[in-house]
Amino acid sequence: MTIKQISLFLENKPGHLKAICRTLADARINIVTLSLADTQQFGIVRLIVEEWERAQQILEQAGYIVNVRDVVAATVRDEPGGMAVLLDTIHAAGVNIEYMYAFAFRRGEEAVLVFRFDNAEKAIAALKASGNNVLGSVDLFQTARHAQAAQK
C-alpha cells in the first residue's frame, strides 16, 4: 500500500513556497501534509494531496518540474519508545529509510508518519508483520478529513 507524493524543487527565495501553495489553493486542491527540506540555494517540497494527478498537471502547467514518488504512511504508538520499536522493525528487515516526515494529526493514539524506503514492499511486509498499521490512500485521507472536522 503506497501513496503518491508530489515533489518539487524550488529556489530558496521568499515567496516560492507560497506560489506553489497558492497555485494548488486556486485549483481547490487541499494539501494534506507537506515537508520542506532546504539547502542554501534550493529546497525540495514534498506534498501529499488527494488528487495528485490533477495537482501534478496543474503544477506542471504553472511551470514547475514535478516528480511523483511512492511513499508509505504508517502509524506508530505516540509514546516514548514508539518510534524506536518501529525503527527496530525496519532495521531488522534490512530496509533503508531515505527520508521521513510526520503528519500534523494523530490517528487515535497513534502518530502518522510518511516514509520513503529503498524497498517499499519489503518495508510494508515487515511493518504489517510486526503489527503496525500501513495506511492506504483511502484510510489516510479519511483520517485527515476526520482530524479536520474535529478541529472545527
Domain boundary assignment for the chain: 3-68, 70-151
Question: What is the distance between the alpha carbons of residues 10 and 46, in angstroms, rounded to a whole number?
Answer: 11
Task: Provide the CATH topology of domain 70-151.
Answer: VC0802-like (3.30.2130)
- 70-151: same fold as 3-68? yes
pLDDT digit string, tens, across residues 99-149: 998 876 666 777 777 888 888 899 899 999 988 888 777 676 776 676 666
Q: What is the pTM of this model?
A: 0.79
Mean pLDDT confidence for 82-95: 94
* Residue 144: CB atoms within 10 Å: 20
Query: What SS3 class is residue 71?
Result: strand
3-68 carries CATH number 3.90.700.10:
no
